[in-house]
Amino acid sequence: MTSKRINWIEESQHLLKIVLGSALMAAAISLFLVPAEILTGGTPGMAMIIYFLSDISMGVAMLLVNIPLLIAGFHFVDLGFTIRSIITMIITAVLVDVMAAYVPFPELHSLLLSTLYGGILAGIGIALVLKAQASAGGTSIVARILAKYTRIRPAQTVLFMDMIILITVGFIFRDMEQVLWSMISIYVTAQVIDKLLTGGVSEKIVHIVSDHYQEISQTIQQQLHRDGTLIPGTGFNQNHNKHVLFVVVHARRIPQLRNLVNTIDPNAIMVVIEASEIMGSSRTQEGQRIAKG
């Protein structure tokens, strides 16, 4: 049996992302969210509930929530992921208490600023940790366990936990505004994570069904400088062959594409889909020359 060799350069890059991501998460919690009594999602949100209801420090509360969940899910994740996650949790917990005690930060009187900046910093921090192939909290591990033994999807588990956190906020503070601000914080964090992990993709996937597919494809190449794929197909009645154009274009080009398709074939079917992640380029040589110039 041959053991897998450790790529120390890669692990050093992971560690750098973990340290930076943990610092940003700690700053978001200690400097923005906790002072404004605004909760975030996942295990940091659970730790904040414990912090507000007891005399335990925020850092200790985070460890009390995360470590048991990580131990429970040890058999469901690989060793490298587990070690990196433990490092992330310890660094974040330590920095949360250190920042709260020793970092002078002016008090913010705007809940909007606290919510937005706290959510943004937390989102950037979590995204960096995820890119380092680690976890910022134990909720993802719980989601994996439930997905393995039940039909509950991981996204549903995380959403359910966040809902429990928001309901708890309402009971703790008895203030609907705190619940709403916490919802905004969780939403902002999720959006930032999504944008950073997918690279902020602004491209759209377009499917076009038309009998004038040749003319439309030529016009797309000439005017939008995009290449595509022609997919043969058959209608439901099995006696009419169809051709589907598959093309990826920038979101800003959708109105132009819609107009040229409608001009060539008013009866064409055009379906626009969000692209979550794209590798490579569909630009023609002319399009690449224009982009560079």
Give start-end residues of each CATH 3.30.70.120 domain in the chain.
203-292
Geometric angle at alpha carbon 285, from 283 and 288, rounded to 5°? 60
Confidence of residue 202 (pLDDT cuts 50, 70, 90): low
Please compute Rg for the chain using Cα positions: 24
In whole angstroms, give the CA distance from residue 95 to residue 21: 11
Which is nearest to 122 in space by CA: 16, 37, 41, 177? 41
pLDDT, tens digit (0-9, with 9 covering 90-100), for 101-152: 999 898 888 999 999 999 999 999 988 998 888 887 777 777 767 767 777 7
Which residue type is seen at 219?
T
Query: How many other CB atoms are found less than 10 A from the CB of residue 151?
Result: 7
Lowest mean pLDDT among 61-65, 78-82, 113-117, 230-234: 78-82
How does DSSP assign 106-121, residue by residue?
Answer: PPP--HHHHHHHHHHH
Say if domain 203-292 classifies as CATH 3.30.70.120: yes
Distance of CA 195 to the CA centre of its chain: 6
Label each residue of 141-156 as H, E or C: HHHHHHHHHCCCCHHH
In whole angstroms, give the CA distance from residue 120 to residue 114: 10
Q: What is the pTM of this model?
A: 0.73
